[in-house]
Structure 1
Amino acid sequence: MVSQSVSSGSVQGAAGGDAPRVLGDRNAGLGGRLETTLGASRTAGSWLGPDGRTVVAVTDAKAAAEVTRAGAKPKQVRYSMKQLDSAARTLRAAPRVAGTAWMVDPTSNKVVVLGDSTVSTDRWSRMKGVAARAGGEVRMERTTGAFTLRTSGAAPIFASGSRCSAGFNVTDGQNGYILTAGHCGPNGTNWFTDSTGRTSIGTTVQSSFPGNDFSLVRYDNRALDQSGVVDVGGGRTVRITGVADPVVGQEVFRSGSTSGLRSGKVTGLNATVNYPEGTVSGLIRTTVCAEPGDSGGPLLARGVALGVTSGGSGDCDQGGVTFFQPVTKALTALGVTIPGTKSGGATANGAPVGSPAAPGNTGTEDRSLFVDGVVNRFRDLGPGALIIGAGLVGLLSTLTIRPGRRRRYPDHYSTGW
């Protein structure tokens, strides 16, 4: 969702140059390893069960036995990932219908096709025809609201007529940048700390949308560019220690200037969304709500960066679906890293965030105090409008967490709370 502003979760960063490292716990990476070992003809995805145990969908008893021996839980299903991917390719090859989206749901062993409220009865009927040709592995669902790019974010950044959220601070080893959504603006877009254009932030120097949904804003004002921690309120900070690809069933957190800090679960990977402005593929689907102005904001779990907000449907009163551009793909494509994360090779089957991934050094260090000063100076930006580079994912949004969830928040957001 494009809320063009620097999301309250702009994470800044450190030395760069190396490829991002995918970090996670042992159990988290088990599903991906088993899928790779057994192959797409014998597996159909993996996810985290309610007990936190890895579940792997398999198509035969021998594969199930191998999964059990490896320490995961097998679930025997009808369709393999090879068949599900074939069905998804059939959908992609059909004429584009704005307001639709699809992704593989490993938990139901189906390719789920969503149609929002803007899809007419005739167009939905045509989509059903395409789904029928794809096979019985496709399930059709209507959803409320409309899939939109939520232009309007967390720590906001302003361009002419638009506002977005900053996702993470990144570096190429020489310059500092903001990683945000690609639909926030094309190359050459100038960004400011307020809608009047008084203080320059920087300029978009790389942008990929549609197809992907990520962009780089190069800092002109280096005073906004050096933090490396995320302020979560109450004098607490969370340091971003790694990047990862999530897994289905994982609990995650998103921050944005409009709706603050929100949590939910990952429900699908490699999703394709047909926005009115264009089609984007390879997205993370979640139950986290978001609203206009939250676009570009960060998706995290336990101190590890997972994605930046792309778009979705619904709102934070009624709930909805939100999609995210994976950080791993964006960092690799752009040749940048998040400061403070260790170097190493990112993999498509990267583990979700676990304890080892997020030592989460927290505290009230000087940078946090500086961040508070920046916020005070830019109060005129409004609720959630936190200055770029301050790393303020939860400063305002922490207030939206109910007391019960507040107690759980440290466990899921950072092991170093």
Structure 2
Amino acid sequence: MKRTTARRRRTVITGAAVAAVTITTLGLRPPADPEPDTLSADAAEQLAEGINSELGSDAAGAYYDVERRTLVVNVVNEEAGDKVRAAGAEPKVVRHSLGSLEEARQTLRDKAAIPGTSWVMNPKLNKVVVTADSTVTGAELDRLEKVVSSLGDRAEVRHSKASLRLLLAGGDGLWGGGVRCSLGFNVTKDGEPYFLTAGHCTNAVDSWSDSLNGAQIAASAGGSFPGDDYGIAAYTTNVDHPSAVDTYPGAQEITQADDPIVGQQVQRSGSTSHVRGGEVTGLDATVNYQEGTVEGLIQTTVCAEPGDSGGPLYAGTTGLGLASGGSGDCASGGESFYQPVTEALQATGSTID
């Protein structure tokens, strides 16, 4: 996925590490493997992108160890591990390559795209984790478990007592036609002010207000759902549209857009449950809503509730995603999914200023 903000990239792979020479007659030992670099989550995401590109089929995913502030890169052989160490990350030799896990995901798409299910490649487990909500029962559940079983240890099924749903109700709040969503990010397109929100919101509403039965402030101008879940609306009145997130109270300035990394700590703001935090647990997730399938989503442990749809996922001043759906709630806990904002910006031709 391409970035929407320009950033100078560093070269992260310079070749295989040079083997140390052991002089046994003098009792000398080769130097220990270099410790992985201490990194911010943003730096780890950049490093992972470069390493995965260099390793090609030898790469098997990566994640950020937030406690040690290091990047862990899965590899399928020790030679690739040497390259990872040389780049400043920690290698972990695993059984399944990204290609093998993607084959498992394709089998799920072909044979088990059942409403109420989701799946994502979990790099910490080196497998595809499939979740079935409480609506998946009987013959559909049997079919799902049979398909997952055929994938061996490349996949596993987990069951959720909650129901997977879009987060649309009937964060700054947006109202239209009895539907309430949340504004994601204010953006600029062709020099004019717009905002991003969820595609299932702009599909349902043509005219938006900032209060129930209020005057129009914006009109939907496009989007995509299902498949993706982003929408864009054009401001129609002269209202303030700062590049910031409402933090109830206060505001967090947003200066750029980027992609997250598994393990990163993030926050979400929405008009129902306000600001909540958690961890990114997966990328490129597939979610089979009752209304249709959406792919390429960010999966997190952040709770969310109806009305939070379209709200922003962010880390500091960096915008990451737009709330799509989830399960559970903020009283009992749950998980939520987000459309990557980088893709939404590119598709709509808009920018975060």
What is the distance in 1 between the residues matched to 2:127 and 2:4? Answer: 33
Instruction: Report the residue type matching 1:228 in the other structure.
Output: S
What is the distance in 1 between the residues matched to 2:224 and 2:330? Answer: 28
Give, in angstroms, the shift of residue 150 of structure 1. 1.1
Give, in angstroms, the shift of residue 28 of structure 1. 3.2
Of 282, 297, 321, the residue aligned with 2:311 is: 297
Answer yes or no: is 1:176 the counterpart of 2:193.
yes
Matched residue, 1:204: 220
Give, in angstroms, the shift of residue 133 of structure 1. 3.0
Closer, same or farther: CA 48–134 of 1 in aligned 2, 3 Å: same
Answer yes or no: is 1:261 the counterpart of 2:275.
yes
Answer yes or no: is 1:133 the counterpart of 2:150.
yes
Deviation larger for 324-333 or 199-208: 199-208
What is the distance in 2 between the residues matched to 1:128 and 1:140? Answer: 7
Closer, same or farther: CA 157–274 of 1 in aligned 2, 3 Å: same
Closer, same or farther: CA 338–153 of 1 in aligned 2, 3 Å: farther
Instruction: Report the residue type matching 2:119 in the other structure.
Output: W
Matched residue, 2:62: 46
Matched residue, 2:338: 324
TM-score by length of 1: 0.73
What is the distance in 1 between the residues matched to 2:342 and 2:180? Answer: 24
Is the 1:153–1:165 contact (alpha carbons within 8 Å) kept by the matching residues of 2? no
Give, in angstroms, the shift of residue 35 of structure 1. 1.0
Give, in angstroms, the shift of residue 240 of structure 1. 1.1
Give, in angstroms, the shift of residue 192 of structure 1. 1.4
Is the 2:112–2:144 contact (alpha carbons within 8 Å) kept by the matching residues of 1? no
Is the 1:190–1:202 contact (alpha carbons within 8 Å) kept by the matching residues of 2? yes
Instruction: Report the residue type matching 1:213 in the other structure.
Output: D
What is the distance in 2 between the residues matched to 1:185 and 1:229? Answer: 21
Closer, same or farther: CA 183–231 of 1 in aligned 2, 3 Å: closer
Percent of counterpart pairs with the same letter?
Answer: 43
The structure carrying a bigger strand percent of its residues is: 2
Matched residue, 1:354: none
Answer yes or no: is 1:156 the counterpart of 2:168.
no
Of 314, 322, 333, the residue aligned with 2:347 is: 333
For residues 149-200 of structure 1, the C-alpha deviation after alignment (integer angstroms, 9 at most, x for no partner) is 111291111111211000000111322111000011328711112222x311
Q: Which has the higher contact order (CA 8 A, sep 6+)?
A: 1
What is the distance in 2 between the residues matched to 1:187 and 1:290? Answer: 20
SS in 1 for 2:342: helix
SS in 1 for 2:211: coil
Instruction: Report the residue type matching 1:20 in the other structure.
Output: T
Instruction: Report the residue type matching 1:71 in the other structure.
Output: G
Of 206, 220, 224, the residue aligned with 2:240 is: 224
SS in 2 for 1:266: strand
Unaligned stretches of 5+ in structure 1? 1-17, 340-417
Report the count of equivalent residues.
Answer: 318
Provide runs of 4+ in structure 1 moved above 3 Å. Answer: 18-28, 229-234
RMSD, matched Cα: 1.9
TM-score by length of 2: 0.86
What is the distance in 1 between the residues matched to 2:281 and 2:64? Answer: 10
Q: Flag the structure with larger Rg.
A: 2
Matched residue, 1:7: none
Matched residue, 1:353: none
